[in-house]
Amino acid sequence: MTSNRITTQTRGILASHNIQLKKSLGQNFLTDQHVLNKIVQAAQLTEKAGVLEIGPGIGALTESVADIAEKVVAIEIDGRLVPILKKLFSTRPNVEIIQGDALEVDLNQIIETHFGEVEQIHVTANLPYYVTSPIIIRLLESRLPFKNIVIMIQKEVAERLAARPSTKAYGSLSVFVQYFAEVEMVAKVPSHVFVPRPQVDSAVCRLSLRSEPAVKVENESLFFAVIRAAFAQRRKTLLNTLHANLLSEMTKQQVENILIQADIQPKRRGETLNLAEFAALTQVIHTTDRASV
């Protein structure tokens, strides 16, 4: 299907059902077959694969992945689009449409109910910008057996996911995602290939889930707390931001001693630490008897 045809079909379906897209849902439908192909290729699908799609819209990506995968389950939050999708895919026994919010549906139940026979499960999504981070975090924290997550997101967010230490884009989300997955920018996508056209460009990003986290930590919740605290006040040194946002019960000298013990200079900023250094810092804090401080 050509890009012009997808655009015409998208506008035609919306018009025939008198559907006005909702800004509150961040609805921007991809209409470029070349980009759709890149998403499918990045997902590395096989005929034995299962695909969990988030935000199918009117099914352009759904159709592309259903041509390959054994099973596709698409979660759509907009109840107006669900009957349209079910009609469009009524002759596709390998496609299931579920109405729901990807932040609230029982992902475990969906996996158990619909993907029992598949060899690998992949996630594809054209994510609304306003829920990008919460959905990514939920997918990774679920620890469900996803092979990879291929997502269309705002280009700025994609750059944050892939960012390295000591760069402007590097932040707590970068560390969190890279702890669980290897991140790769697959393609940059201009705004004109969407209906309606968003105000910013997008990017396709692939998260390849690690079999084990990138670094070993004994206390994962503390690890994430350390990351949040380190980036809470980017302009401040680690000594000051950790003292203010995580270790306020300690004196600054005690916090400085922890940093030195972790082989981290207290005057460094959080944005300069890599995952291994965050893990080392977490371990020192974890083994410090804070109750006696």
**According to the annotation, is 219 in a ligand binding site?**
no
**According to the annotation, is 55 in a ligand binding site?**
yes
**6-to-89, 128, 228, 263 alpha-carbon distances in Å:** 16, 20, 42, 56
**107-to-71, 103, 148, 267 alpha-carbon distances in Å:** 15, 9, 15, 43
**According to the annotation, is 28 in a ligand binding site?**
yes
**Gap between the Cα atoms of 188 and 208, Å rounded:** 18
Residue 97: phi and psi, rounded to 5, are -105, 130
Concatenated DSSP letters of 250-265: S-HHHHHHHHHHTT--
Beta-carbon contacts of 127 under 8 Å, excluding residues fewer than 6 positions away, are: 54, 55, 135, 136, 151, 152, 153
Helix (H, G, I), strand (E, B) or coil at 219: coil
**According to the annotation, is 289 in a ligand binding site?**
no
**According to the annotation, is 57 in a ligand binding site?**
no
Helix (H, G, I), strand (E, B) or coil at 119: coil
Residue ranges for the known binding site are 28, 30, 55, 76, 101, 126
Residue ranges for the known binding site for S-adenosyl-L-methionine are 28, 30, 55, 76, 101, 126
